[in-house]
Structure 1
């Protein structure tokens, strides 16, 4: 048993265990005081012998007395579960927003039925087109309380129900809801697509039809700039189209015809603005297929050396140039990117490790280091962090619970690791539990059986799990990583982010895997990105093998490797799955602050990016398609390169002397207008404010739907968001379960009442302090000591 184990045991039974450290110092002080005679008197031999006997007695009793007092000061305790009987009470919140008109009215029957059996308080929340249900629940939540919702769960204002459920679980309250059945049918239409695109490039738009009730088909009409491009009766929920659009503003309208309940959500308007192609500079000493590809998308100037004036260019593209050509102008390129421009460096047979980039000035601008990293055997450490909280009880995929998926995924990940990789397994809910100490995978005998027997339950505290994993990894040298499997729905989210920052400061990367039907993806992405890790969806966890698994030597020897998107949480790689074969690559490794987006199937970096000052830099560590990466220039795979260029370019209008931009909006929501002009713009009903040099912004609150023109800006105004989400929100049940609540049918009054009674009884974990026994023992000993001393004196 080491010191850490002793401390853990002490903290389990004492509130202030460090008070025990006073014992040796207090005993030494008492011993010293007993040995000292501060006043020297002439005494008889008998008196001196009596005092000597008293000192011997005190030498025994005083240390015992000190030990007893220090133990009492350390506040020992025992944990006891106590059942508290509360008053059963039902708090019923009824959503009164307009979208609830689609459902059967159940509150008028349910409330009186509940009032007959139990004290019930009914509150009406939400009004007209405002569904601020989350705020209303927050206002009525009390510790250890519960609320019952009659709502469709579609919140369009205030706090989200998901955040409220997490807060409820934190204060041991529950959110419950009634399952609603629609009595009216309705359909709504929306258009999704880019608000801004480049001239002569493909722009894709999706028309989405949301239905509730029995609506087998609707008539959908789509117009682009007044011309009908689709007019058919369809049973599909989506229609997608792609167009090359000329410069200027374009108007898209989607209209459905269906006998439904809300007619105002049957028409949707969208604007898109096409801007001129930005100018880029291609530096190349040879003819390249890359030039042909880039000229289809951008205005391209090709040169063999850097021109004196770089102001017209948004991005510099270097194609397979050696360091001897780039080092003399590295400072100029650094200033260029520092001003907010881009740099894309393509590899090949004359660049990177073949072009002496290692330790060059140009290498300092890139998100990669030249050369493959040297790793010793067993150099990689991984802490597998498994969420076994109550929110993991929901079914997921083909598994009975999300926890079962997490356990299966953990076992699958461990099977795909190199055998010498050291792995620790930690489970957590509100606390963290060490399942298996760090050791090589080959030494993990019986660990799969242990993992498969883990039970889920309790609250969620990701911070506790992260802190435990950090403490474990910090005891070992090597490359440290945490793989977190969770739905991301945690109490104390700020604490979890602080724990992730601590991991980043400790040189630990966190790779997150989203598990569960309603994963908080943004939180999981934020945790991963804070440490330069990667977020994987549940279906993507096998990609961890690319990072930590053994290299497939047979595949590597063939010289043919597939392109794999490793990180799909970036503008460049979002919703993109390539089908490309590569025949070569440059040897690099990503820098600590870089983001590795794409690799070969054997794990060699192909696309790495980072921010350099205000600019953006991408390293494409394969060639221009002339020899190694020809498939990247194909129609489907070229999206990777075009998106990389668009990311490096950034805003294609940032160098424009003047522009007008307005964002589409909805009724009762302001439309924001931004204008770049040398003169202060003027428009009726709008006050403009200067936000930058020659840049002004203002807003207006529209009162009717359709296309509107203001100060030369065209924007669309659509129906209120209240009519967008139809039917009972599919995530409502999962949100309710996050707080430990339940879904009830409107007729299940007995079940609701029984649940309320059960919730009123709660077990609390209390500490019973054991100070008094030690204090009484100390006082008793002190009294005995006085009694003995008096007897000795009488003698």
Structure 2
């Protein structure tokens, strides 16, 4: 049983209020026995107050303790990357300000920059922190997390970024460290530049010391990328190397650091995975695609699965898959095997008299063989107002924030959002993404998690900036598929207006919303929780700012004002003409990427061709939809089953018994989506018969994590450059080890001691391509030399977290004024009234006793 008093009051021990029930019964009994009413009233009142005191009444209030800042702390970044920027800036500032205010200088130096850790260590309410840095941080707490922590605690942090005076180039190779023999491996070479000045240079790419590409480049921007592919024809260790050659004799003046002009990536080439293809069409486009990548064994039925990395079942009717084969498949998948089931006119929902539905085989799949009435869902951004004004009473025993969060939960649980992908943003002084991207709320586990996260939300910031929330939403929606419908739902107390003539936040919010709606076609809805005491809610002409906002962006029909305690209903429904037009515009086979974060779909933004047919299926609750038609029909759906992976490709093999549904998916760029699906399902290739390693690119003097999987019992024994590795168990037959090297070049991980740090040339002469008993580990220069020049994200992070960016010209005129201001940190405090109730009860009892004594005895 819950008791709440109005105006934000509550009780710490509300169960004690149950004592009021026997008190009420005693009062009724007294009246029935005709005891003196005045006597009953005063004694009952005293007991009532004592019960309230026992329940510990309190109210939640925002307090603003003020603390004077006593000095300036300068965090001086003196790490290696700062050699490119103007030197002596921190010392100059310290000398000029030191005579007027206490200044402390702390340095960050070396080849690893832990800028985030330094900010957290130095920030406090009493000091004003000035960071003098290029913003490049490569170890410890990320700078964004450190600045967010300071913002939440109201620790002021500002920055001054010195001018970049020296030019520099760095090169890095991005790509997998494992490749399959006789298959194309894809890589990207990223060349970063410290400034935006024009610079010419030459890049050379070699594989196993043989040149495969050489290109002259003139670069102006901060980053240039070159993509290339290579097919390895021999097993075992290989290397890919990129080298820069600045086009000048005076290299030092043109390119400051020389140690970042080359990058080496170690590659381990494995045999083709062994895959069983169960099909009646061994010459289909699917089969031909697989034969290019895998060692394919084609069969018309299941045979032994020993030594098989994955099973591909192509258009097989339910009647051809026995229960014994299904049980064998289940054991195979749950123990780590891969399974891909491809559709067609004899699988999933075909033939009508014997589909996969309700069979043991269907239990293995991420879909059920029944039509889906889902039309693809929407991308929904829930923007929740968490500014301090939401702490005020809603007049019905709670806070305005309670109404905001409860309306968000009601929306989350409604039919409207059942198939949506939802991202939740809170906004006060800034916008904060609390879900870290969209999540699919058609999964019950995701919806329950999001429900719990919303309930945890607390007020933050010191004002309401709708613009910040909209900018965060804009950033999130930019990364989503542009063909998906998107909606923004703002839930707020409406306190979004301007505080004065110089406050243009409201106008900026309108402009940001117009850009979202008009340029990107994003729908915007505003749920205004009407709270009469909210400031900045009404204009001088008596119009609600929230209504004015929606009117200005042309969406006044999407404005909903409700009273506290009410729950909103929003409709995204289309009129029949719009719906019909959309169906005409989107053919039933036009397909799109639904989840761009998965390994299979990552960096695949568009699929250019339609499919002409597909099986009607419905994803199971814990499955991942990856590719769908524009009308919401699943095409590629995946899930994990035990230790294995299962994918359902619910269109055909590209042949389709002469009438193909999806021939285009097996040719050109669109075939990548099929290849990745197959690769995802295939078990990881092994280093040897018993041990499997994941070896990343390592950095000098920086620990690198090696993941180890073994089929043997007990901890494996491995060596790094002839030295035994310290190996720790992290799970069933899974281990990890951290290794560190201090020299550039190739190093070795092996089951027996192997000579260390050989050159590329000696590696192949000594070991040869057929020696697969060891793994190469390429060690490059530290990250400090990879990201050069000013980090462009550093300025944004400072400003988004309430900080300021100074220039060399204004730092002296502004920093003293900013540093001398008093910080006002708003915190939520509980004010208890136990003593007040006790004092009132005692006073009433004392006065009544004196009055009663005087009337009965003194007279």
TM-score normalised by L of structure 1: 0.76
C-alpha deviation, 1:519, in angstroms = 9.3
> Cα–Cα, structure 1 residues 235 and 517, in superposed 2: closer, same or farther, change >3 Å?
farther
Q: Tell me which residue corresponds to 1:171.
A: 153
Partner residue in 2 for 1:721: 783
Question: CA-to-partner distance for each residue in 1:121-179, whole Å, 9 max, x for gaps?
Answer: 2212x222021121222222235754211112211221111111122123221322112
Deviates more, 1:625-634 or 1:544-553: 544-553
Deviations 1:352-385 (A, max 9, x none): 111411101111000001112468xxx9999965
Equivalent residue runs for 1:102-501 within 5 Å: 102-105=84-87, 106-124=89-107, 126-143=108-125, 145-213=127-195, 214-236=197-219, 237-248=224-235, 249-258=237-246, 259-287=254-282, 288-307=284-303, 309-328=304-323, 329-355=325-351, 356-373=355-372, 386-387=382-383, 426-428=384-386, 469-470=408-409, 473=412, 479=418, 483-486=422-425
Q: Give the conservation status (yes or no) of the 8 Å contact 2:56–2:832.
A: no
Give the match's secondary structure for 1:638. helix
State which of 583, 594, 601 in structure 2 corresponds to 1:573.
Answer: 601
Q: For the residues of structure 2 that align with 1:708 and 1:381, how far apart are their CA atoms?
A: 50
Is contact 2:720–2:747 with CA below 8 Å preserved after alignment? no
Maintained 8 Å contact 1:346/1:620: yes
Which among 615, 632, 636 is matched to residue 603 of structure 1? 632
Match of 2:647 in 1: 618
Q: 1:228 to 1:108 in 2, by over 3 A?
A: same
Q: Quick one: distance in 1 between partners of 2:305 and 2:572? A: 42
Q: Is the 8 A contact 1:587 1:604 kept in 2?
A: yes
TM (norm. structure 2) is: 0.71
**Which of these residues, 815, 818, 824, is aligned with residue 752 of structure 1?**
815
Q: Tell me if the contact between 1:327 and 1:360 (Cα under 8 Å) persists in the aligned partners.
A: no
Alpha-carbon separation, structure 2, partners of 1:13 and 1:257: 71
Q: Distance in 1 between matches of 2:292 and 2:357?
A: 34
Q: How far does the alpha carbon of each residue in 1:621-664 deviate from its partner, in whole angstroms, 9 at most, with x for none?
A: 11111211111011211111110000000312278456777543
Q: Is the 8 A contact 1:166 1:491 kept in 2?
A: no
- The yes-or-no answer on 1:702 pairing with 2:741 is yes
Alignment-derived partner of residue 563 in structure 2: none
Match of 2:724 among 667, 671, 687: 687
Distance 1:69 1:677, change over 3 A: closer
Equivalent pair of 2:362/2:368 in contact (CA under 8 Å): yes
Question: Given that residues 688 and 696 in structure 1 are in contact (C-alpha distance below 8 angstroms), is that contact kept between their aligned partners in structure 2?
Answer: no
Q: CA offset at residue 194 of structure 1?
A: 1.6
Taking the aligned partners of 1:658 and 1:619, their CA distance within structure 2 comes to 30
SS at match of 1:217: strand
Mapped partners of 2:43, 2:379: distance in 1: 49
Aligned length: 692
For the 8 Å contact 1:277–1:297, the answer to whether it is kept is yes
Shift in alpha-carbon separation, 1:548–1:650, aligned structure 2, 3 A: farther
Distance 1:549 1:301, change over 3 A: farther
Separation (CA, whole Å) in 1 of partners of 2:436 and 2:213 = 51
Relative to structure 1, is the Cα distance of residues 735 and 231 closer, same or farther in structure 2, using a 3 angstrom cutoff? Answer: same
> Are the counterparts in 2 of residues 386 and 427 from structure 1 also a CA contact under 8 Å?
no
Contact 2:726–2:737 at 8 Å: present in 1 too?
A: yes
Please report the RMSD computed on the Cα atoms of aligned residues, expressed in angstroms: 4.4
**Which consecutive unaligned segments of at least 5 residues does structure 2 have?**
247-253, 393-400, 455-467, 488-570, 755-773
The yes-or-no answer on 1:504 pairing with 2:415 is no
Q: Does structure 2 conserve the Cα–Cα contact (< 8 Å) formed by 1:431 and 1:465?
A: no
Q: Which residue of 1 aligns with 2:492?
A: none
CA deviation digits over 1:278-337, x for unaligned, max 9?
111111124533212211111111111111x21121111111111111243111111111
SS of 2:238's equivalent in the other structure is strand
Structure 2 SS opposite 1:265: coil
List per-residue Cα deviations over 1:662-714 (Å, max 9, x = no partner).
Answer: 54312113466769799956675411467799999866533321234563432
The Cα shift of 1:220 comes to 1.6
Cα distance in 1 for partners of 2:416, 2:614 equals: 30
The answer to whether the aligner puts 1:540 opposite 2:481 as a matched pair is yes
Q: How far off is 1:221 after superposition?
A: 1.9
- SS at the partner of 2:602? coil
Distance, in Å, in 1 between the alignment partners of 2:841 and 2:694 is 80
Q: Is 1:64 paired with 2:64?
A: no
> Secondary structure of 1:585's match?
coil
**Superposed displacement of residue 786, structure 1:** 1.2
**What does residue 448 of structure 1 align with?**
none
Where 2:484 maps in the other structure, the secondary structure is helix
CA distance in 1, matches of 2:186, 2:436: 40
Shift of 1:112: 1.8
Q: Could you tell me how far apart the structure 2 residues matched to 1:668 and 1:464 are?
A: 53
Alpha carbons 2:385, 2:426 under 8 Å: kept: no
Distance in 2 of aligned mates of 1:121 and 1:592 = 57
- Residues 397-435 of structure 1 show CA distances to partners (whole Å, capped at 9, x for unaligned) of xxxxxxxxxxxxxxxxxxxxxxxxxxxxx544579799x
* C-alpha contact 1:208 1:238 (8 A) present in aligned 2: yes
Report the Cα distance in structure 1 between the residues aligned to 2:470 and 2:702, rounded to whole angstroms: 33
- The whole-number CA distance in structure 2 between the counterparts of 1:601 and 1:501 is 17
Judging changes above 3 Å, is the alpha-carbon distance between structure 1 residues 761 and 357 closer, same or farther for their aligned structure 2 residues? closer
Q: Contact between 2:431 and 2:472, CA under 8 Å: does it hold in 1?
A: no
Kept in 2, the 8 Å contact 1:315–1:343? The answer is yes
Q: Residues 672 and 738 (structure 1 numbering): CA distance in 2 closer, same or farther, change over 3 Å?
A: closer
Q: CA shift at 1:231, angstroms?
A: 2.8
More displaced 10-residue stretch of structure 1: 743-752 or 765-774: 765-774
The change in CA–CA distance for 1:609 and 1:192 in structure 2 (over 3 A counts) is same
**Hey, what's the Cα distance between the residues in 2 that align with 1:677 and 1:616?**
19
Query: Structure 1 stretches of 5 or more lacking a match?
Result: 38-51, 388-425, 435-460, 522-534
Change (3 A) 1:91 1:154: same
Check conservation: 1:91, 1:122, Cα contact below 8 A: yes
Supply the distance in 2 between the matched residues of 1:624 and 1:118 (Cα, whole angstroms).
75
Shift of the 493–261 alpha-carbon distance from structure 1 to 2, 3 Å rule, reads same
CA distance in 2 between counterparts of 1:539 and 1:137 reads 33
For residues 167 and 724 of structure 1, the distance between their equivalents in structure 2, rounded to whole angstroms, comes to: 27
Provide closer, same or farther for how the CA distance between residues 772 and 680 of structure 1 changes in structure 2, counting only shifts above 3 A: closer
The answer to whether the 8 Å contact 2:12/2:56 transfers is yes
Contact persistence 2:16–2:51 (CA under 8 A): yes
- Contact 1:145/1:759, CA 8 A, preserved across alignment: no
| Structure 1 pair 127–209 and aligned structure 2 pair: CA distance change class (3 A) | same
Choose which of 791, 804, 807 in structure 2 pairs with 1:742: 804
Per-residue displacement from partner, 1:715-764 (whole Å, max 9, x unpaired)? Answer: 32211111111112111122223432111113322211111122445566
2:793 is equivalent to residue 731 of structure 1: yes
In structure 2, distance between residues paired with 1:618 and 1:64: 70
CA distance in 1, matches of 2:61, 2:670: 61
Task: Report the CA distance shift for 1:652/1:374 in structure 2 as closer, same or farther (over 3 A).
Answer: same
Give the deviation of 1:504 after TM superposition.
Answer: 2.5
Contact 2:343 2:652 in 1 (8 A): yes
Deviations 1:482-509 (A, max 9, x none): 73243999999799999x9997386587
